[in-house]
Amino acid sequence: MRLLIIGSLNGQIGAASQIAMSRGAKVSQVDDIEMALGSLRSGKGADMAMIDVNLAIKSLVDSLANERINLPIIACGVNTDATAAANAIRAGAKEFLPLPPDPVLIAAVLEAVAQEDSRLVFADPAMKNVVDLAEQIAPSSASVLINGETGTGKEVMASYLHSHSNRSDKPFVCVNCAAIPENLLESELFGHEKGAFTGAIARRIGKFEEANGGTLLLDEISEMDIQLQAKLLRAIQEKVIDRVGGTKPVPVDIRIIATSNRDLAEAVAEKTFREDLLFRLNVVTLKIPPLRARKIDIDVLSKHFAKKYSEANGLEPRMVTDEAMAKLQLNPWKGNVRELENTMHRAVLLCQGDAITAEAILMPDGSSTPDTANGSAGQSSTASDRNAGDAGLVGRRVADVEKDLILNTLDHCLGNRTHAANILGISIRTLRNKLKLYSGEGATVPMAGSEYRYTAQV
């Protein structure tokens, strides 16, 4: 993990740096916010920043947002009162860390905020086959395509590949192609020169150059515009990129890992994805099976998350009862590991006593989880059920019914666009266009929440 320390921190910076480095972090330091922005623009990159609480944290957070630099901020201070710490959080810091530094606390913050754990929890033979193949190909520089439903852990698998590769001591840089608007993704990938477009206030090094020598993860690559795909193909083939507004090509040496929750062969047939790019990307394809096809992993992961969130909330370990496990095994887990993790986190908080019972396995709204025992996991509804549902639909416009369905699904997914699009069976781009339309009509659109992902350990 790359840690950027901003400010002098009253002489405690040396101690904090040493502790972070002893925990495996690569540390760099700058004196002020302008130097920090300059470092990030230059492509040095960082996975997390620790900043003196007395500096203008909101100014840094706003500048990062304006330049689309995603960087968790930890505020630090010596003998800082509660008001200053609270103000730092309100300004956009994720955490406050008191100084002098405590080794255990710094380690916990590094793990909690950076979430840089590439280890996997699995026991099912279906998943073991995938991991065995990943370990076999990891040392090579071959491009890899990771395919699987949303929430199966594609990004974790990509991180696992990098950590077992010959590039593990070099940067691992991620780009979510579905989360960045089309007109900005080219600049995000390839960088830009000052004045290349409105808002380009300084030269910005793109993710290709930031990942030089290491691994670049192109998450949900199927959402990339087909015109940009042509430029990506050239970058992969010729190992050079052109910054937006630049005058000469820049050489790069990276390994490409791409993920998709769609069948890219179908996207090629639909002419939304270039066939030649697909050939370049899938030298090896890792297909991660859905959680419902990994019954043993449901057991293993449920217990892992119960332990993880018991510890995270300062509770005694919560055991999973046989009745609760039976209910978990019946759930179809459309959101896969991500949904299971959220469910177990909720169960830890809701359970009575030191055991997680079936009553604690609930949906976000407090309703019981669906299961195949009562027919709610994809079995046909009865005629009376259908008639009851039709009563609320007859006489309504299709567009209005669709609008309610999309907004309710998004609300159920806590604003997670990718998860909602997967459940609805539409592309993330289609979902965004629908939400833009609804927002323009005055509808309340759920805000995007955290892009949950699971990180675990063997």
Choose among 35, 63, 37, 43: nearest CA to 243: 43
Cα 24 versus chain centre, distance? 22
Same domain, 326 and 311: yes
**Average confidence (pLDDT) over 363-381:** 54
Range of the domain at 409: 396-440
Confidence of residue 456 (pLDDT cuts 50, 70, 90): very low
Is the whole-model pTM more than 0.85? no
State the residue for tokens 């019946």. 330
Structurally, the chain folds into a number of domains equal to 4
Residue 92 lies in a domain: yes
Choose among 4, 33, 46: nearest CA to 210: 46
Same domain, 202 and 274: yes
Q: What is the pLDDT of residue 374?
A: 47
Residue 282 has pLDDT above 80, yes or no: yes
In sequence order, what are the beta bridge partners of 147?
A: 260, 287
Same domain, 272 and 161: yes
Residue 169 lies in a domain: yes
227 sits in which H/E element: helix 226-238
User: What are the residues whose beta carbons fall under 8 Å from the beta carbon of 95, sequence distance 6 or more?
Assistant: 74, 75, 89, 109, 112, 113
Angle between helices 336-350 and 322-330 (to 10 degrees): 150
Confidence of residue 94 (pLDDT cuts 50, 70, 90): confident
Same domain, 29 and 89: yes
CATH of the domain at 173: 3.40.50.300
**Average confidence (pLDDT) over 284-295:** 95
Choose among 30, 76, 87: nearest CA to 53: 76
Report which of residues 210 and 106 the model is more confident about: 210
In sequence order, what are the beta bridge partners of 48?
A: 3
Q: Is the dihedral of CA 258, 263, 266, 271 positive or negative?
A: negative
Same domain, 297 and 282: no
Residue 273 lies in a domain: yes
Residue 449 lies in a domain: no
In sequence order, what are the beta bridge partners of 29?
A: 5
Q: What are phi and psi of 429, to 5 degrees?
A: -65, -45
CATH of the domain at 430: 1.10.10.60
- 389: exposed, middle or buried (C-beta count within 10 Å: 0-12, 13-18, 19+)? exposed
Residue 187 amino acid letter: S
Boundary residue ending a domain (287, 303, 338): 287
Residue 120 lies in a domain: no
- Report the C-alpha gap between 90 and 301 in whole angstroms: 34
Choose among 39, 34, 2, 42: nearest CA to 243: 42
Same domain, 196 and 260: yes
Same domain, 302 and 279: no
Residue 14 has pLDDT above 70, yes or no: no
Residue 280 has pLDDT above 90, yes or no: yes
Confidence of residue 38 (pLDDT cuts 50, 70, 90): confident
Residue 362 has pLDDT above 90, yes or no: no
Same domain, 239 and 280: yes
**Average confidence (pLDDT) over 135-151:** 95
Instruction: Report helix, strand or coil for 266.
Output: helix
Q: What are phi and psi of 240, to 5 degrees?
A: -140, 150
Same domain, 131 and 272: yes
Boundary residue ending a domain (264, 287, 310): 287
Instruction: Report helix, strand or coil for 76.
Output: strand
Same domain, 304 and 277: no
Same domain, 282 and 297: no
Residue 386 has pLDDT above 70, yes or no: no
- 339: exposed, middle or buried (C-beta count within 10 Å: 0-12, 13-18, 19+)? buried
Choose among 188, 212, 20, 42: nearest CA to 116: 20
Residue 441 has pLDDT above 90, yes or no: no
Instruction: Report helix, strand or coil for 43.
Output: coil
147 sits in which H/E element: strand 144-147
Residue 458 lies in a domain: no
Residue 454 lies in a domain: no
Residue 217 has pLDDT above 90, yes or no: yes
Boundary residue ending a domain (287, 303, 334): 287
Q: How many residues in the chain? A: 458
| DSSP secondary structure letters along 333-354 | -TTHHHHHHHHHHHHHHH-STT
Residue 382 lies in a domain: no
Q: What are phi and psi of 284, to 5 degrees?
A: -135, 135
Same domain, 104 and 135: no
Residue 219 has pLDDT above 80, yes or no: yes
CATH of the domain at 308: 1.10.8.60
Choose among 226, 218, 231, 230: nearest CA to 273: 226
Instruction: Report helix, strand or coil for 97.
Output: strand
